[in-house]
Every structure is written in C-alpha cells, then in structure tokens.
Amino acid sequence: MDGKNSMNDQDVKLLERSFKRYYLSHLTEIPVPTDIAKREFGYKKFTGGMIRHMNVQDEKAMRLLLVENSPADVYCSNSYYLFPNMDMKKKDWQGADLIFDIDAKDLHLDCRYSHTCRVCGECKNVYKESSKCPQCNSIKHISSSWPCKNCINAAKKQVVKLVDILENDLGICADLIEIYFSGNEGFHVHVGKTEYNMLEPRARVALGDYIRFYNVMPETYGVRRSKIDRKKFPTEDDPGWHGRVAKKFFGKNAPRSTSNTEYVKIAEKLKNAQYTMGACIDMQVTGDIHRIFRMPGSLNSKSGLAKILCTDLAKFDPYQDACFIDCDLVKISAQCPIRFSLGGRTYGPYIKETKVEVERFAAVYMMCKGTAHAISS
C-alpha cells in the first residue's frame, strides 16, 4: 500500500519538499547506473501518473532529473537499449542485468497481521481488527503494513539463500552481486554483467524456478514410482540442488526405503522443500526484461526510506541505516494505530486523530503510509 490515495495538497507539498531536500543534500552520494545512456528511466510524482521511456545521457542529467522533479519514485531499467527513449518495440534490446526482488509480504509471516492497519477508502479513517470501517461502515479500504524486525530478518534469510545459489550453483562472482534494501519491505539483488545478461524472459523464468526449487520431480533425484534405486540417489558431495537434497533427505540419518509408497512421501517432501530450501523471489520481476526498477539511492514513496546498498547484510538495520530524511520538527495530524521505531526513536500508537510535532522523517513515514496529514504552520 502507499498513502498517495489519501493525500491532500498540503501533504503533497510537504513530501515533495522533504524528498527534494534529501536529493539536494545527498546528490553526489547517489550512485550512477552503469551504461546510463543505454537504460530507460522513469519516475512518478506524488500527484500520480508514471512518466517513462526517458533517456538520461549522463550523471549530470540524472541529478537534474532528481532535483527538478522532486519525484515520489525513480526507476531505471535493468535492460540496455540502443534507443531507450523509443517505444518498447523500437528500443532495440541489447541485454539485461539479472535482478531479484525479495519482499517480506510474500513470506506470509504470522506477524504481518499485528502490524497491518486499514485506511478507509471513503472517510480515510484508520483502523485495525475490523472487517469494515468503524466510523462509516465502508468495506473499501487500503491495507498499510509496517514491516517489523522479524519481517526484515526473514527477508534477509531469503537473500542469503539466493546469494548462495548465485555463487555456488550459477558460478557468479561475489563481486558482481549487489544487495540493496528496497526502501520498504525487502531487498533487491542486482547481478552485474555476466553470461546471463542475454537470457530471454522464458529462460529467466526457468532460472527463477531453479532458484525457488519449484516444481521439482522425484525422478530428478533417482526416485521412480516403479523402482527406487538407492545407487541413483544423489550424494552430499554433488553440486547444487543434488547435494542439498542429499543432505536433507538422503543423509546418513535419513530413512531410505525401497517401497513404492516412498515415492509419494519423497514427492511431498520435495514439494514442501520449496518453502524451506528455495529462495522466495518475485517471479514477475525475474522474468520481466522490460521492467523499470527502483533506482539505487532513490527514496521509496511507500516509506520515505532510501534504496541503499547493504555492505553488511547481517548488521543492516533499515530503520537506522536507510533513514535519511531531515530531523527538523514538523506538525502533523496522525492517526496511526501501529507503534513503530525509526531513526532511533519510537512513535505512536496514535489510536485517535492526534496533533503532534515529530521529526520530519517520522512524519514522512506516517504520511507515506496514509496515516498522517500535514498541518499548515
């Protein structure tokens, strides 16, 4: 969810001003995409609408785009084109970086319900634990999730599994793999120029299925309905999924049976292993070579946090390390039923609409999630 649907003119002005201050003060720290002139750029404004099919020739032009437009979100293609500003059919595709998206919302964690609220589509009231708005009885709403530490840690575990597969199964050098916090609920993993850059969408989907350990057949691991031959089982020394499967299911302590019914059991185990052994990546992102993707260093309009490089994933704390909006005090009207921590401080909950003065980064965070509005000073 983002809070743009519930914003008024004052909200838009405060957010545009806050984002512009970020871009002005951090302009030289924002990384310039490689082969920038061959990529398609796009951006969104807080007032809505997507502008894309843009060509940005160099670093100076990119920085001008950020400062002049105060965009809510900025995007850049993972593909390279001869003519990035043309219509899609005329761009002349030249290849695309591998990019993977891991989002906590796709992990179906038990904690999610506890930190999700609803913004009424009619009266904009914010509420929890009710199927309809307690103020106007409307069932129209937009969900607003406030990812917690458990969400971020769970997403990190998926990143670790993904990177292990990229390095050890696909042979991608660690120096070519970059891990970014997405600016909201997860991580983006970018892979620089490799032999995989020329893969077409169908091949990228197949690669994604391999990474997810999706739709695996027992026969791949020597298990057949008619006959189970232990000699064809993989060993722990085998590379890739064969070795992982051997350790998980065919290790020294794992029971081995030659009964035909064992096939069904193993098939079920392999199916369930998708969720425990495979990396949970967004396949719509992996297979789409014409997507424009959130640009590193830009702010995310769903939170006001920055998409930044994680040099130490284990220690990375997005609520400290990705919070760059200024800390001067601003007045807002908040109705935020979720207690949250940001920039080393804790805020809320504000069960009823409450006028408060908080640091700008906290005001922006609540406004981006549709639970606060600006008050004119």
Question: Within 13 A of 175's CA, how many CA atoms are on the CB side?
Answer: 0
Determine the Cα–Cα distance for residues 370 and 29; give it in Å rounded to an integer.
29
Distance CA 263, CA 219 (A): 9
Residue with tokens 């091949």: 203
- Out of 97, 103, 209, 288, which one is annotated catalytic? 103
164 is catalytic: no
Spatial neighbors of 270 by CB under 8 A, at least 6 apart, are 216, 217, 218, 221, 245, 249
Spot the catalytic one: 101, 229, 288, 321.
Answer: 101
Residue 282 among the catalytic residues: yes
Residues 6+ apart with CB under 8 A from 178: 189, 190, 191, 192, 309
Using an 8 Å Cβ cutoff, are 94 and 82 in contact?
A: yes
Cα dihedral: 45, 49, 287, 146 (round 10): 50
Contact call for residues 247 and 236 (beta carbons, < 8 A)? yes
- Say whether 288 is catalytic: no
Q: How far is CA 7 from the centre of its chain?
A: 24
CB atoms within 10 A of CB 180: 23
Q: Of 2, 11, 282, 288, which residue is the catalytic one?
A: 282
Query: Which residues carry out catalysis?
Result: 101, 103, 282
